[in-house]
Structure formats: structure tokens, C-alpha cells
A = this chain, B = another copy of it.
Amino acid sequence: MNTLKSKIDELKIVSHPARIAILDELSKGVKCVSDFQEFLGISQPNISQHLSALRMAGIIDFFVDGRLRCYFLKNPFVLDLLEILKKEYTSELPGPECCPVTKKGTYHGERRR
């Protein structure tokens, strides 16, 4: 699926520091579970749990190589997401310039915070 809803579901699953770290590594190439152990500071079962969740969500998949499982990134949306996660944002968006205009906006009070 490529719907907004499915992307939001993926976002939710991905919104976790360890999972982002896993996906960022996978964006550079294939990795097996013990590769992740080296730089994620979490237990092997926990890594497997994260990998399993990401796979259930259709975000990653793996090939079997002997007793290794070689994981790779499957979902292109995640690549774009990783990119904006690394982007620098230097300033906030400009607030509304003049008095807010909303449907029910018939009040003319001071514009305060």
C-alpha cells in the first residue's frame, strides 16, 4: 500500500532511536544482526525484536546466508525520511503575518500569545 494511512503506520513504527539507527545503517548497505550489535548499545534479542517489527511492517527484509540473516532496506519512503532527519533546519517557520483569518474568526481582540 502507498496510502497516507499506511505511511503514518510506518512512521509510527520507525519513530524510535534504535530503529532509526538500524535503518540508517541499512541505507548504506546490507547488514546482519551481529553487525548491529557493534554500534547499537542494546541486547541481541532486542535487536531481533526491532528487526522483526520493521519486517512485519514491510520496511525491511532479509536474505539468509548460512547462519546469518542479511537484512536490507525495502521501503523507499524510509530513505526520504532518513534524508530529512539529517537535514539542518536553522529557523522556525514565519508565524502568520497579520490577524488570523479563520472561519469563525469574527473577534477583533488583540493578537496575543
Contact = CB atoms under 8 A, between A and B. Distances in A.
24 contacts: A4-B20, A8-B16, A8-B20, A29-B101, A32-B100, A61-B113, A63-B95, A63-B96, A63-B113, A64-B110, A64-B112, A65-B100, A65-B102, A65-B109, A66-B108, A68-B104, A72-B95, A74-B92, A74-B93, A76-B91, A76-B92, A79-B93, A80-B87, A81-B81
Contact of A107 (B5, B67, B112): B67
**Oligomer: number of copies:** 2
Interface residues of A, number: 64
A11 interface: yes
B35 A103 contact: yes
